[in-house]
Amino acid sequence: MERLTKQLSDGTYALAQDHNTEEMIQKLAKYEDLLEALCMEQSKIVADIEKLRESNKTKTVTYHQLLANKLMIMNLIGRFEIYGL
């Protein structure tokens, strides 16, 4: 991955050489799009899990797969939160 920033000795960040603000904005937008898509997918999975629960289908492969996907997405969203994104 090519970084657009570099970390300074005081812990702050600065724009790396040969990059501009427009590149940074575009890259940030992609991260925001990714996080938004993960949150939307999580909401859909939660709704699907609830429908299966209401239908008493908690022992199905689909239900278990949705639970696994929910955990994976929660983990990814949590990583964004750890880094303050």
- How many angstroms separate the CA atoms of 25 and 5, rounded? 12
* DSSP code of residue 4: S
38: tokens are: 């993960």
Q: pTM score, two decimals?
A: 0.82
Q: Is the model's pLDDT at 1 over the cut of 80?
A: no
* pLDDT, tens digit (0-9, with 9 covering 90-100), for 23-36: 889 999 999 999 99
What is the tens place of the pLDDT at every residue in 30-77?
999 999 999 999 999 999 999 999 999 999 999 999 999 999 999 999
Q: Total structural domains in the chain? A: 1
CA-to-CA distance for 1 and 76, rounded, in angstroms?
18
Over its C-alpha atoms, the chain yields an Rg (Å, rounded) of 19
The helix or strand, by DSSP H or E, that contains position 37, with its residue range, turns out to be helix 21-54
Question: Quick check: is 61 in a domain?
Answer: yes
Determine, yes or no, domain membership for 71: yes
Q: Domain containing 67: what range?
A: 32-85
